[in-house]
């Protein structure tokens, strides 16, 4: 039978406006800034003078044949010893744009913080949380994901098809996933558990282990969510604050190595350590008790009043990563489209969310009654900025999960439940 499903798509990308020098952070500080071939060629046509001298001194051609060489990374900006961009002037503006206009910006600079993906010839634009203004736009608006009539598409899919690649079912998977995250009849950690269970059942579909294929699985799982038949088994998974805090601190340590180059992240880590009572000689058990108290007294009351904030975080990440299917256009080292890996995609989302939530619990404890939305914005933005360009982070996360035997539904839920 041919069914129609709503193509749930982000419609907020074009609402972003850069606030320029009013921004509290510098978007490219500490990052590799690529210059595409067309922009590099355009720069070579700039007449001799101070701007051309600045460009020649601070943009280096990627050696032909070097690893990673491609038209979009034809050359790179040489960052200053402070890890800042040499083209930022005293007013915090790009000197190239000031003198030559926006058309002279590289693709990287012109599009950031927008992230474009194409699915079934539909172009979607999501946003990166590494920008503070994006965090305010996406996290703090309870209606940011409310769809209007414009841009709504209905995509057909055949429930009689048995497609182990899952690509034929992208839109019903997307519709179900976003609906699940918005379903407040379950606490958020239980919604994440259900998403993990759904991801494992998608893996079973891929392996051909589900009688009736994807359609039968989706019908059965949707019914189980609607009736609450899985609640009892979810509730049997205990909260383990010591385990959770230990994992968060291990991930924080990975990022703290770069914190001196990221003062906003350092401020968050400092508030986090104060909030969990970290002092020399403090035991993990003592800090876990402080962590639990911070959750009960400051974190939970704030997010009970503002439940949309963490939901919006997850939905934006799901849009960006195409969780739990993953981006089928993403190239693997063999340059072939990557195969769906729903369990791995969910594990990465769950672990990053556990890290963020754990940090926010500590930050809430550090600021106590004054904990506010701006503290949330700073924490989300500074953590995102340090993670997004670390290609080794997912591998390290999986190793930590495996070493701690947390790479399963039970373990991941223990990281998320308080």
Distance, CA of 51 to CA of 87 (rounded, Å) = 9
In this predicted structure, what is the pLDDT of residue 181?
A: 97
* Contact residues for 381 (Cβ-Cβ < 8 A; gap 6+): 25, 129, 130, 131, 132, 134, 135, 264
| 311 shares a domain with 190 | yes
User: φ and ψ at 289, to 5 degrees?
Assistant: -65, -45
**Contact indicator for 67, 59 with CB cutoff of 8 Å:** no
In this predicted structure, what is the pLDDT of residue 332?
A: 40
**Tokens found for residue 418:** 């308080």
| 82 shares a domain with 191 | no
| 125 shares a domain with 102 | no
| 297 shares a domain with 210 | yes
Instruction: Give 10-residue mean pLDDT values along the chain (418 residues).
Output: 78 84 79 88 93 94 70 86 85 90 90 85 87 95 72 72 80 94 96 95 92 92 96 89 87 59 84 94 93 97 98 94 78 52 90 92 97 97 81 73 79 86
| 78 shares a domain with 195 | no
| 182 shares a domain with 79 | no
**Tokens found for residue 54:** 């600045």
* Contact residues for 74 (Cβ-Cβ < 8 A; gap 6+): 34, 35, 36, 37, 40, 61, 62
| 156 shares a domain with 233 | yes
In this predicted structure, what is the pLDDT of residue 329?
A: 58
| 2 shares a domain with 149 | yes
Structurally, the chain folds into a number of domains equal to 2
**Contact indicator for 132, 377 with CB cutoff of 8 Å:** yes
Q: Residue 327: which domain range?
A: 1-27+112-418
**Torsion sign, CA atoms 4, 180, 220, 411:** positive
In this predicted structure, what is the pLDDT of residue 261?
A: 58
| 73 shares a domain with 128 | no
């Amino acid at each position: 039978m041919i069914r129609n499903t709503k193509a749930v798509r982000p419609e907020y990308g074009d609402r972003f406006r850069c606030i320029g020098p009013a921004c509290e952070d510098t978007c490219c500080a500490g990052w590799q800034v690529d210059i595409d071939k067309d922009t590099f060629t355009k720069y070579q046509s700039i007449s001799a003078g101070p701007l051309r001298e600045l460009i020649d001194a601070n943009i280096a051609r990627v050696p032909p044949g070097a690893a990673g060489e491609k038209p979009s990374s034809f050359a790179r900006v040489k960052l200053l010893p402070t890890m800042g961009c040499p083209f930022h002037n005293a007013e915090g503006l790009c000197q190239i744009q000031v003198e030559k206009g926006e058309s002279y910006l590289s693709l990287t600079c012109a599009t950031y913080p927008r992230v474009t993906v194409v699915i079934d010839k539909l172009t979607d634009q999501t946003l990166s949380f590494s920008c503070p203004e994006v965090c305010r736009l996406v996290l703090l608006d309870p209606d940011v994901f409310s769809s209007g009539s414009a841009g709504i598409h209905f995509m057909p899919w055949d429930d009689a098809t048995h497609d182990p690649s899952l690509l034929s079912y992208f839109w019903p998977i997307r519709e179900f996933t976003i609906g699940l995250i918005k379903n407040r009849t379950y606490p958020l950690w239980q919604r994440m558990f259900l998403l993990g269970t759904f991801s494992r059942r998608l893996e079973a579909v891929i392996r051909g282990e589900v009688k009736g294929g994807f359609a039968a699985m989706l019908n059965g799982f949707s019914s189980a969510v609607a009736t609450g038949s899985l609640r009892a088994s979810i509730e049997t998974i205990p909260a383990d604050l010591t385990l959770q805090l230990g994992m968060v601190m291990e991930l924080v340590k990975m990022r703290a190595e770069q914190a001196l180059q990221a003062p906003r992240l350092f401020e968050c880590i400092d508030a986090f350590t104060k909030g969990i009572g970290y002092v020399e000689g403090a035991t993990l058990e003592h800090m876990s008790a402080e962590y639990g108290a911070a959750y009960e007294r400051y974190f939970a009351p704030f997010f009970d009043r503002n439940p949309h904030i963490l939901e919006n975080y997850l939905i934006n990440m799901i849009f960006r990563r195409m969780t739990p299917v993953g981006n089928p256009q993403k190239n693997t080292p063999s340059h072939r489209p990557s195969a769906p890996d729903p369990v791995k995609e969910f594990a990465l989302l769950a672990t990053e969310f556990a890290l963020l939530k754990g940090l926010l619990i500590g930050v809430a404890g550090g600021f106590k009654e004054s904990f506010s939305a701006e503290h949330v914005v700073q924490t989300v933005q500074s953590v995102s900025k340090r993670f997004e360009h670390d290609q080794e982070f997912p591998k390290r996360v999986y190793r930590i999960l495996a070493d701690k035997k947390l790479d399963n539904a039970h373990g991941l839920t223990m990281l998320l439940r308080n």
